[in-house]
Structure 1
Amino acid sequence: MKKVFGVGFVSALAITTLAACGSGSDSSTGTNGDVVELSFSAWGNPAELDVYNRAVDAFNEMQDDVQVTLTGLPNDNYFQTLTTRLQGGQAPDVFYVGAENISTLMSNGTIEPLSDFLESGDSYVTEDEFTEDIWGASRNDGIVYGLPVDCNPILMYYNKALLEENNIPSPQELYENGEWNWDTFEDITGQLNESGNHGYMQESGHGAMLNWIWTNGGEFATEDAIVGDTDGKTMEAFEYVDRMIDEGNFTYAGTMPEGQGIEAMFMSNQVGFVSAGRWLTPMFLDTSIDFDYIPFPSNTDEQIETANIATAYMAVNSKSDHVEEAMKFISYYTSTDGQEVRLDGEGNAVPSVVGIDEIVLNQDRPEHGQYLLDARSVGRVIGLEFTSPGLSEDLEDIYELMMLGDIDAGDALEQATAKAKAAVE
């Protein structure tokens, strides 16, 4: 769930964070009389932080002896900042950790195992209330180390006005007519490029590449092996992305100036399509931009193909002075009640617990919220690749070289699979 913010927002968060955490761990895990004060950190744009605080406020109102304070951290270098503070004893009591990074914290013992607490009477949620396919790398040998905050099936956002200005057919009509495919997307993004706009913002994370691998019916990895170098469909996906960037249909997001992330590009009407989960929706709803969702174009006979489901986990700092209270809070935040408070209406994600998917549809815009649930139903979280600490960063470095034109698609796939095999096999 990568998010990039403008310079002003990052600077403001940095100042807030230094004020909150700069004086040592005691200041963030102290007590006020008989009230335990817990510190909670997460990444997020300003609209998302408002969503997070719905559950924080609800929890605080329910408690007499525990109060939680949320501090936002910029996404840029979030995990590096977190690990530095964990090592220095200045980390918050609870925090978000990305699916690609949780294995690192599990291996170095800096987060608490949660399974026993989930079985206790103090927990607001049990393990079996979550969808079974959501755990990814957060569960090892049957032990849970992070609770799925929610989930975000990745789909595309498109700028309706920009497409209309360029006489481009509605993606909705193309999708409904079975014509929403790679060839059509190439035509549309090429037309946007020719008109002086950006067609699609391509990011370099492993999930961003899997979006194309999976919509081509390919596999980079199975449950227990890396297979991308022997899968022709995976090679086709690498070649497609490489060619689309080379021809200008796609723009590699890493080449944009600082402060010009995919959100800023979209909100300034410079790009037709970006991909993300629901997390961009609250920010976009605060603007006048006319947008909607559409699933990723498929290059198979299926109308909608496997979607990458991004997720983050809530973890408890093993050095917290209030581990039990911290576990109680994250169990509420990720419970049915906690997720309903956060995600109903204009929320930023799809539930990771069963039974409340319909709350995603309780908003008027964008029109096709059902696509989030459709993508969820055919999606899956990244598994094997995220079980190896640091592998996601290594893969991203390789993909970036391809997107910058330093290596071709064949070299990128060869290097990526070799790196992944060495890490997990």
Structure 2
Amino acid sequence: MTLTRRQALGAAAVGTLPLALAGCGFVPSAAPSKAAAGTIAFTTWGTDAELAGFRSVIASFEKAHPGAEVTLNAVPYEQMFTNIDAQLQAGNPPDVFRVPYYTFGSYAGGDQLLDLSKHLPSGFADRFTPQAWAAVQQGGKPFGVPHHTDTNVIFYNRKALSDAGVTSVPTSADSAWTWSEFRAVAQKLRSSLPSNRYPFAYNWQGNGVTRWLNWLFQDDGRFLSSDLKSAAIDSTQGRAAIDFTRTFFPDRLVPKNDFVKSSTYAADAFANESVAMVFSGAFAIPDTDGLKFEWGSTFSPRQARGGSDFGGNALVATKAAGGKAELIAEFFDHVTQEAQMRTFCEGASLLPTRQDLVSDGISFTVRPELSKVSVGQASLVRASDSGQVASPNMSKIITVLQTQLDTAFVGGRGAAATATAAAAGITAAVA
């Protein structure tokens, strides 16, 4: 069983550590020698395209490493981490598994992952963008490899915007709508659309609440201090981001069921034309390509600067797999080589974490003309933003954000009170 693209919208999001860790990380003394033959047990979830990509790279690795074998165990996302947690507790986890960046910190901080510092090739960190390398750090050491990323852009219904008098959309990150410009577009849509349709939907449902942080980063705010040990959300920027997003609901810019704890996916509202725009990731492109109306994508809004979440997933090895460390390191090295990452990302409509692929660009198999927008949006992520989500306490912080933002969005509580309550919850989470 695999996730459909639309189901996966609620599954993925963010991660990372401060910029100081991003550029160099560690420097092993030498590249590992070729490991002996062995078997790696690899557990993941994935769409059909993602699983096809994994099978391809496994076949390539096994061909290049005679005697090595990777057994792929594909499970539904809904069961993935319940199974992993139970296996870790029982002492029989897989050797390698896939993990969202926003979940990575809880495993690394819980001493459940293998420290890869002494096993990865010299200069390995230089392959990746600073924000990607920071996403797999704990205490200045890598406990995983950044496999791919994704981030929010805006999908829009061309006819709906045209009917509202919106005749152009931003074509570069620098020209992205400011908050006030985005609101003006949404208000034009509100005036043009019938009462049962809405200007946009936001994909912050479930653990995707981390995508709300885009607004905070766009105003150059933080939710954690630079040492990740205290709350920083009760600030001018934090209150501004809460105040701006909470008004989406009374102003009827989003559907009533577009709140954080909703079980309705934002992508569904776009697919059935209940909304004219939706915030979404590139990985949803194949699932929306069959829509019966013309649509395109543009950059997320900016305020003090452009900002985005660092979504996607890393590959990690469990601490119990230490006896296979060299073989696992060779597998991680192979998976993140240029050709392998390009093929995987282009086929699955995901974004690369290698610096060369970001610079050169990739071309999605489906709707290749949209690649530039997604890659350009991802380039706006800063390691200082994504690093906060690598906190080992992120799972608790997610719960805080879900509760406090929903109280503002659905309960109508003001921005100042929400920021204060969120800060208190985050303080307790990191204590």
- TM-score normalised according to structure 2 size: 0.77
Name the structure 2 match of 1:138.
136
Return the offset for 1:113: 0.7
Kept in 2: contact 1:44–1:75 (CA 8 A):
yes
Query: How far does the alpha carbon of each residue in 1:111-145 deviate from its partner, in whole angstroms, 9 at most, with x for none?
Result: 1111111137xxxx712222223233521232110
Q: Structure 2 stretches of 5 or more lacking a match?
A: 11-35
Letter in 1 for 2:216: I
Name the structure 1 match of 2:338.
336
Secondary structure of the residue aligned to 1:96 is strand
Kept in 1: contact 2:259–2:406 (CA 8 A):
no
Secondary structure of the residue aligned to 1:200 is strand
Name the structure 2 match of 1:105.
107
Q: Distance in 2 between matches of 1:286 and 1:39?
A: 36
2:156 is aligned with 1:158: yes
Query: How far does the alpha carbon of each residue in 1:18-45 deviate from its partner, in whole angstroms, 9 at most, with x for none?
Result: xxxxxxxxxxxxxxxx974433223333
Letter in 1 for 2:186: E
Kindly report which structure 2 residues correspond to 1:326-405, keeping only aligned pairs within 5 A, or say none. 326-344=328-346, 346-357=347-358, 358-361=360-363, 365=367, 367-380=369-382, 381-389=385-393, 390-398=395-403, 399-405=405-411
Give the number of aligned pairs: 389
Deviating more after overlay: 194-203 vs 410-419: 194-203
Letter in 1 for 2:69: Q
Name the structure 1 match of 2:201.
201
Return the offset for 1:235: 1.0
Name the structure 2 match of 1:411.
417
Name the structure 1 match of 2:72.
70
Name the structure 2 match of 1:309.
310
Kept in 1: contact 2:6–2:284 (CA 8 A):
no
Letter in 2 for 1:214: F
Name the structure 2 match of 1:127.
125
Q: Distance in 2 between matches of 1:314 and 1:177?
A: 34
Deviating more after overlay: 246-255 vs 173-182: 173-182
Letter in 2 for 1:226: A
Equivalent of residue 232 in structure 2, options 222, 227, 231: 227
Deviating more after overlay: 48-57 vs 325-334: 48-57
Letter in 1 for 2:377: A
Letter in 1 for 2:140: G
Name the structure 2 match of 1:23.
none
Secondary structure of the residue aligned to 2:314 is strand
Name the structure 2 match of 1:94.
96
Return the offset for 1:206: 4.5
Kindly report which structure 2 residues correspond to 1:236-275, keeping only aligned pairs within 5 A, or say none. 236-251=240-255, 252=258, 254=260, 260-275=264-279
Deviating more after overlay: 289-298 vs 158-167: 158-167
Kindly report which structure 2 residues correspond to 1:210-221, keeping only aligned pairs within 5 A, or say none. 210-221=213-224
Secondary structure of the residue aligned to 1:117 is coil
Letter in 1 for 2:51: L
Q: Report which structure shows greater RCO (CA 8 Å, sep ≥6).
A: 2
Letter in 2 for 1:270: S
Return the offset for 1:408: 4.1
The 1:69/1:409 distance shift into structure 2, 3 A limit, reads farther
Q: Distance in 2 between matches of 1:279 and 1:350?
A: 8
Name the structure 2 match of 1:18.
none
Secondary structure of the residue aligned to 1:190 is helix
Kept in 2: contact 1:131–1:352 (CA 8 A):
yes
Letter in 2 for 1:334: T
Letter in 2 for 1:190: R
Kindly report which structure 2 residues correspond to 1:5-24, keeping only aligned pairs within 5 A, or say none. none
Name the structure 2 match of 1:48.
50
Name the structure 2 match of 1:298.
302
- TM-score normalised according to structure 1 size: 0.78
Letter in 2 for 1:396: L
The 1:283/1:179 distance shift into structure 2, 3 A limit, reads closer
Q: Structure 1 stretches of 5 or more lacking a match?
A: 11-33
Query: How far does the alpha carbon of each residue in 1:198-250 deviate from its partner, in whole angstroms, 9 at most, with x for none?
Result: 4322315443221112233433344235332122x321211121110233312
Kept in 2: contact 1:45–1:283 (CA 8 A):
no
Query: How far does the alpha carbon of each residue in 1:254-294 deviate from its partner, in whole angstroms, 9 at most, with x for none?
Result: 5655xx52333333333322223322123334665533221
Kept in 2: contact 1:112–1:317 (CA 8 A):
yes
Secondary structure of the residue aligned to 2:369 is coil
Kept in 2: contact 1:40–1:95 (CA 8 A):
yes
The 1:222/1:289 distance shift into structure 2, 3 A limit, reads farther
Name the structure 1 match of 2:13.
none
Secondary structure of the residue aligned to 2:73 is strand
Q: Distance in 1 between matches of 2:158 and 2:50?
A: 23
Secondary structure of the residue aligned to 2:421 is helix
Identity %: 18
Q: Distance in 2 between matches of 1:196 and 1:388?
A: 42
Secondary structure of the residue aligned to 2:248 is helix
Q: Distance in 2 between matches of 1:348 and 1:80?
A: 27
Letter in 2 for 1:126: F
Return the offset for 1:365: 2.0
